Amino acid sequence: QRVALAQRLLEVTEKSMEMIAFEAGFGSATSLRQHFAARLRTTPAQYRREFSKNAQERGAHAPR
């Protein structure tokens, strides 16, 4: 549940890794990164970049 919350925060906010770690219930950004890697096989920063890229692509191709 903490990783899922961190995913949502990465997707919809520009908050720092430290703030996301705190809000999602991890003790530190290091702990967040370790749990993220273990569960999702990626880093929080990479996850955020991928989501932002996908969101921009969807927005560019959306009908007006």
Residue 63 DSSP code: -
> For 25, which DSSP code?
T
Report the Cα–Cα distance between both ends of the chain, in Å, rounded.
36
Tens digits of residue pLDDT in 1-21: 999 999 999 999 999 999 999
The pLDDT assigned to 61 comes to 57
CA 7/CA 22 separation, integer angstroms: 13
Question: Using an 8 Å Cβ cutoff, are 38 and 54 in contact?
Answer: no
The answer to whether the pTM exceeds 0.75 is: yes
2-61: what CATH class? mainly alpha
Residue pair 40/52 in contact by the 8 Å Cβ criterion: no
Q: What is the pLDDT of residues 41-52, one digit of tens each?
A: 999 999 999 986
